[in-house]
Amino acid sequence: MTAHVKPKALENFKARDFRMLIDGTWTEGAGQPIERIAPGHGIVVSRYPAGSKADAERAIAAARKAFDDGPWPSMTGAERSNILLKAADLIAARADELAFLDCIESGKPISQAKGELGGAVDIWRYAAALARDLHGESYNTLGDGTLGVVLREAIGVVSIITPWNFPFLIVSQKLPFALAAGCTTVVKPSELTSGSTLVLGEILIEAGVPAGVINIVTGTGPEVGAPMTTHPDVDMVSFTGSTGVGRLTMANAAQTLKKVSLELGGKNPQIVFPDADLDAFIDAAVFGAYFNAGECCNAGSRLILHTSIAADVTARIADLAKKVKVGDPLDPTTQVGAIITPQHLAKIGAYVDGAAKAGALVALGGAALDLGLGQFMAPTILSGVRPDMAVAREEVFGPVLSVLTFETTEEAIRIANAIDYGLSAGVWSRDFDTCLTIGRKVRAGTIWMNTFMDGASELPFGGYRQSGLGRELGRHAVEDYTETKTLNMHIGARTGWWMPR
């Protein structure tokens, strides 16, 4: 690998200063700004206000007033849809700017960031269509004297808390659906990657979203996130992040019995049978393990290989993984970028060291890479992993692939299900019966068959067990941001229970 040098794109670069958005006004924070150091380049690239509890409360009050008194909830679905479509067009027009921010702040490759922006635009357009399609039900089969109508009404004020690994894509899996339903929102992006979300605030104002409907408060979880999950004027919390913080979020929301949607961790298996198309699988295995440097809740971090093919397949995966280009996130040919923080890089390394001490073999990589600037991790493969090892059960959130083996279908299913998570899984076999058996028996929200990490705006996304609650995307995503109300209408005279009959 070549030495890492500062790219031309950053030679005359000046760090960008941002402000928070509260009630339609861009505002400074009271404290020292948060400086974001680019994980791939080691320089300050962004500064954000360090929001406080008071800032979060002001944003919540603005969202409450906008919901209770403002025009957004009472607009027609078509009116909201048109604004969301305009937002999608503006996102597309500023896609290079948004991708650049996500690239330098998160360390992800620029080519990947641009792909994510294309996916986000599609999600905004899909949510805009759903704004016009949200509807309830009617029942005229309850007898001549009764008509039942079931309404879907916007739930109210929604707190949206997003992580650092997919800054723009994940806010796009939440915010447009909440807006389509007629909700008002307070958004807290990660303090590591707030830039693209703040630009989204500019876009939504330009698209015509009224003041107070979208508020963006930057800062840390204890200062900003906590009041967003406990405040009585918040009706729902939508959170994506670690399972540990998800538990805390759920406990906070329980104080006022808020609705909670949680998209949390994963330890996702790919189960491979001897009759699989191994060429296709090996490419998918490398992609699933090292996409976004493995900092992905959907990462295919566990391979469960049939014993008859395990040695050969592991060797072939290692050969392909050696060709994966790790380097400057701004280089269009880079496939794996930087690790988000030095602390997280150390955590990944500790998992690898712990696995080796427990008896796993480091078949590839296993160490940090010195590329001159920033922090990088070599694509890593651990073979001989047992199901009871921490690296096989816990979310490493890095470019580390654990290889386990099985003899029977029943054993593969048992290994796949023997963890706390259930976000996604893959199965590889030319036998449809085998694929369907795995698909029915593995407890996960998405099962890929002879592919991995494919997706579409139309398909629901979410997990079982400690991978979270609720679903994002799909035609029912807007419904998650609504309450159901029954109107039970009586026609004609009513006979009271105490009157003679």
The catalytic residue positions are 263
CA distance 383 to 314: 8
Evaluate whether 385 touches 391 at the Cβ level (below 8 Å).
yes
Helix or strand holding residue 254 (H, E): helix 243-254
Name the residue among 169, 171, 223, 166 with its Cα closest to residue 34. 223
Residue (of 245, 304, 256, 303) closest to 468 by Cα position: 245
Other CB atoms within 10 Å distance of the CB of residue 226: 16
- Listed in sequence order, the DSSP H helices in 156-194 are 167-172, 175-181
446 CB burial (10 A radius; 0-12, 13-18, 19+): buried
Q: Between the CA atoms of 158, 453, 197 and 86, what dihedral angle is there, to the nearest 10 degrees?
A: -80
> For residue 219, is it left (φ>0), alpha (ψ between -120 and 50) or beta?
left
Residues 6+ apart with CB under 8 A from 183: 67, 73, 154, 155, 156, 157, 158, 236, 481
Cα atoms in the 13 Å half-sphere on the side-chain side of 224: 26
Non-local (6+) Cβ contacts of 211 within 8 A are 23, 24, 25, 62, 66, 70
Residue 113 to residue 292: CA distance in whole angstroms: 9
The angle subtended at Cα 462 by Cα 412 and Cα 486, nearest 5°, is 130
CA distance 256 to 253: 6
- Residue 423, CA atoms < 13 Å, CB-side half-sphere: 28
Dihedral-angle region of residue 233 (phi above 0 means left; psi in -120 to 50 means alpha; beta otherwise): alpha
